[in-house]
Amino acid sequence: MPVRVRQAEPAQHPPAPPVHQRPRRQGVPQGRLPGIRLLPRVRRPRPRAPRHGLHGPARARTAQSSNWREVTLREDLLREFCPQNALELERDLALLHRSKGGQGFVDAIARLQEFVGIGTVRHYPCGTACQGYVVPRPWNLKGGFLRLSTGEWLVPDLRMAPIGGIFLSGASHGTERLRVVDVGAGTEDTEYTQPVDGCAVLATGKPPVVYREAVAKHGARCVITEFMPAQDARIGRTPEEMPDTVNYTSFGSESQGEGFGFNVSHRTFKHLQDMVGKEVIEVDAFFDIDAGTGDLQVLETHVGTPGARKPILLLAHLCHPRPGANDNASGATLLAELVRVLQSVPLEQEVIALWMPEFYGTIAWFADQKPDLACAINIDMVGEDQTKTGSTLEVTATPWSLPSFIADLMAVNLTTHDFRLTLTGFTWGSDHAILNDASVHVPALSLTQWPDRYYHSSDDTPDKSSVQSFEWIGRGVLDTLADLITGIPDERAAVVAARIREQGLTDSVRYSDPLIRDWVARRTRAALLALQETTDTPVVRAELAAAGTTSPMPEFQPRVPAIGPIEEVWMTPDDLQWNDRLIRDFPCWYHLKAEVVNFIQLGVEREDALKLATAEFDAPAAAVHAARHYLDLLIAKGYLLP
């Protein structure tokens, strides 16, 4: 059960304001990003160490020196930090259509390099398998439109509003005139009661599933959708309450461009449905794409001094369509400002920063670089103005299979009465899932404002962001980095240790099964031991003693021939359909199937692994049954050793 730092009902909101637009700049002067004023750095005089006599206590001198180093580093980092820089840079990135392999993604990397320095750009292939993933083909949108054959515009020029084009669409054969057929959800074969070969289909279902049914199986040329993911009536996120919003969608990574598609607003979709129900309707559709750069690009920057201690990784995905302000220009630009701040002070531990295409760039980089990391902080959707978006900042903890204290530490550093915040158990959703996989074994937390009324939509614009959110979260990350690099202050370490043991006690009372209670005790002790390695204080030692003696966490035993989670690399079209139904029916499915494999790779027997993962995510019996079948499929296809 998640430990909630602060609970609050989502805010009520007025109708979405008009989309913020900002004129595109024609050029960027070298050496300076327009619109950003870097504040001059002001240093306070460092306190001088009190002098001890020649025979004075050397230990006291060393302890005081360490304390000064911790205080001055923290003060210097927080003094240098300018959250307005992140917001201004977000406004620039929100002008770019940042598709994987697209020119907008390359331009976004260039903007970041102008701000933080050159760094290293690594290139990885698209359209191929990488570990457990199928990396989609490179995709660069050049233009397109959708009109009724009578001339009425349905989707404007995609050069002006690129979010109207479904990601991974293929190119049309010039302008195609297509009859429109309403197929309902369009996700089941039984819905195709009339021929759609060579037609455009109206479909309300999830576009990757619609693509497999309508285009791949039944020969449709075009998909027209209003699909809105993650609907939430509590914050006014429904098609009916946002009738003119256009949502971002994508076809599956296995698609090869056999068809194309358009995202339209709810109002436009209902207009089309009404017409199709009365008469034969035709549209003129044009879609122009190419392979862009032909690869995935990852920007990597190193700060601090490499040494005996493992580096800390900070990462933020850079992809998503224009505008994509909070998701995830906000994370990318906050990371850029954090790197600028870290570059201004001497660090005794190396920090690596990574900007990449979500999931695919991360797994490609790990498979290539094979870094040995201390921990990681994933920064994804952090700029939200909580009053406008209805969001709450979620600090996502590591899974039961990889105990750590870092999420508790971050939550303590972010706790305030001015913003909504909750510490959650492990969930999937972003790149931290790859790091927390048993085969990678890097404790990774994620910072994500969720839910968000404007998520994946044309309304995710910089006016929905807040400089106060950037300041709050940025200072929390800097505080946490200072703790990890120079040591956690005693009082803070005591709070973190108490939180870890309190959660262990809560879970121990909640479960009666001896297997689960034993694992809870083991992960509680493992998290406290990791905390002790960073800050060994009497309070931490006392909490460890109170936690009792347990068996240590088991060692990793590789059972999967890949690094990271096993995703769609093994799936046939039927497997993909089966997996999509499980995602729809069970919100815990992604977490459950990954964590079961994690436990198995820690030497836990299959049924015990299922029992532990079921307890961790409160999975229903039907989902557990599906997880058993999933393990059978992995074994049959050679992706899990029996």
Return the pLDDT at 70.
60
The average pLDDT across 144-173 equals 98
- Residue % of the chain over a pLDDT of 90: 88
Within 8 A by CB and 6+ apart from 305, the residues are 346, 347, 348, 349, 350
- Model confidence over 475-507: pLDDT tens digits? 999 999 999 999 999 999 999 999 999 999 999
DSSP character for 254? Answer: T
CATH of domain 142-290: 3.50.30.30
- Residue % of the chain over a pLDDT of 70: 89
The average pLDDT across 607-626 equals 97
Q: Sign (positive/negative) of CA torsion 334, 370, 311, 529?
A: positive
The average pLDDT across 375-388 equals 98
Query: Encoding tokens for residue 394?
Result: 């979620």
Return the pLDDT at 69.
57
- Model confidence over 316-371: pLDDT tens digits? 999 999 999 999 999 999 999 999 999 999 999 999 999 999 999 999 999 999 99
Q: Which of 508, 527, 506 is nearest to 516 (CA)?
A: 508
Return the pLDDT at 642.
87
Q: What's the burial of 293, exposed, middle or buried (CB within 10 Å: 0-12/13-18/19+)? A: middle
Return the pLDDT at 369.
97
Residue 27 pLDDT > 50: no
Residue 282 pLDDT > 60: yes
Q: pLDDT tier at 612 (50, 70, 90 boundaries)?
A: very high
Residue 29 pLDDT > 90: no
The average pLDDT across 532-540 equals 95
Query: Could you tell me how far CA 444 lies from the centroid of its own chain?
Result: 12
Return the pLDDT at 118.
86
- Model confidence over 196-238: pLDDT tens digits? 999 999 999 999 999 999 999 999 999 999 999 999 999 999 9
Q: pLDDT tier at 39 (50, 70, 90 boundaries)?
A: very low
Amino acid at 220: A
Return the pLDDT at 67.
55
Spatial contact of 490 and 496, defined as CB atoms under 8 Å apart: no
Task: Return the number of other C-beta atoms located less than 10 Å from residue 399's C-beta.
Answer: 28
Residue 24 pLDDT > 60: no
Within 8 A by CB and 6+ apart from 87, the residues are 333, 383, 462, 465, 467, 470
Return the pLDDT at 63.
41
Topology (CATH level 3) of domain 65-133+295-487: Aminopeptidase (3.40.630)
Q: pLDDT tier at 59 (50, 70, 90 boundaries)?
A: very low
Return the pLDDT at 279.
96
Return the pLDDT at 62.
35
Secondary structure percentages of the chain, helix, strand, coil, to 5: 40, 15, 45
Query: 């660069």: which residue's tokens?
Result: 140
H or E segment to which residue 519 belongs: helix 514-534
Strands 351-356 and 260-263: unpaired
**Cα 367 from Cα 133, distance rounded (Å):** 12
Mean residue pLDDT of the chain comes to 90
> Model-level pTM?
0.89
Q: pLDDT tier at 15 (50, 70, 90 boundaries)?
A: very low
Return the pLDDT at 17.
35
Q: Which of 544, 445, 545, 535 is nearest to 491 (CA)?
A: 535
Residue 50 pLDDT > 80: no
Q: Which one is predicted more confidently, 17 or 537?
A: 537
